[in-house]
Amino acid sequence: MMLSLNRLETFYGETQALFGPSLEIERGEVVCLLGPNGAGKTTTIRSILGLTPPRRGTIRFDSTDITRLPTHVIARLGIGWVPDDRRIFPSLTVARNLQIAVKKTAYRSWQTKEVFEIFSALEYLMARECENLSGGEMQMVAISRALLGAPGLVLFDEPSQGLAPKIVQDVMRTVRRLRDEGISVLIVEQNALAALEVSDRVYVMDRGRIVHEGAAAALLADSGLRQRLIGI
Ligand SMILES: Nc1ncnc2c1ncn2[C@@H]1O[C@H](COP(=O)(O)OP(=O)(O)OP(=O)(O)O)[C@@H](O)[C@H]1O
Ligand SMILES: [Mg+2]
């Protein structure tokens, strides 16, 4: 098991956002986490990363208990993050943004030229300051930063948000590539169909709880269930 969340209860101040969700991801498995606005998807990711640590429950990453570890230690253990706001350094060049993301972990290291093989446009943008990039280009940098951190698991928070359909396909292709490399993926998406197509399993959350868990293909095939759970 690469990631295992056990009955998380996470709060913002006195407001409880997670009411005990449990979730597991195997090595090389792609899992999507769906649900309406405010369901607790981002809070689940923030809990894993130690940004808003759970008050109760446990989080294990590849057999290490990371529940109480600080964020920078968790990142160094090999959890990559593609945040919903893409969080790259706007005044730095693409090259510098990539350079400072490089880490060594227990997992495979990625060379910059391998990242260029995935995102060929990036090679020609290296000298560009990130504030001058398009949304799609920023997302390429954000994903590349996660890869250069030598992850065993990558957490994507709404990676297709605001991107053109062609770029969304590029992002989903990358998720498949990670899976082929044996890297585990947790993907939170509003674009549920695109996420289900690249996922092995799916969890649906609502109001801080898991309300459905199963094979992604089964949810894709059952339009009645899909309509009831995620409204599409
Ligand atoms: N910084 C915060 N302070 C207080 N409450 C918060 C904060 N961030 C989120 N919440 C609350 O926690 C709950 C879960 O929010 P969260 O952002 O995890 O949902 P989400 O599933 O990611 O939603 P979305 O699809 O809108 O991104 C919501 O009720 C939200 O209002
Ligand atoms: Mg969110």
Residue nearest atom 29 of ligand 1, based on CA coordinates: 38
Q: Report pLDDT digits (tens) over 142-170.
A: 999 999 999 999 999 999 998 989 889 99
Ligand nearest to C-alpha 41: 1
pTM above 0.85, yes or no: yes
Domain that holds residue 150: 3-230
In short, whether 159's Cβ falls inside 6 Å of ligand 1 is no
Residue nearest atom 1 of ligand 1, based on CA coordinates: 12
Note the pLDDT of residue 140: 93
In short, whether 42's Cβ falls inside 6 Å of ligand 1 is yes
> 124: CA distance to ligand 2 center in Å?
32
> 125: CA distance to ligand 2 center in Å?
29
Whole-angstrom CA distances from 190 to 148, 150, 152, 232 are 26, 27, 24, 11
CB atoms within 10 A of CB 84: 14
Per the structure, the count of domains in the chain is 1
Note the pLDDT of residue 88: 83
Note the pLDDT of residue 74: 96
CATH code for the domain in which residue 170 is found: 3.40.50.300
Kindly indicate the confidence band of residue 126, based on its pLDDT and cuts at 50, 70 and 90.
Answer: very high
Single-letter code of the amino acid located at 54: P
Kindly indicate the confidence band of residue 90, based on its pLDDT and cuts at 50, 70 and 90.
Answer: confident
Q: What share of the chain is helix, strand, coil (3-state, %, to 5)?
A: 40, 25, 40
d(CA 166, CA 186): 21
- The bridge status of strand 15-16 relative to strand 79-82 is unpaired
Mean pLDDT of 101-120: 94
d(CA 122, CA 136): 11
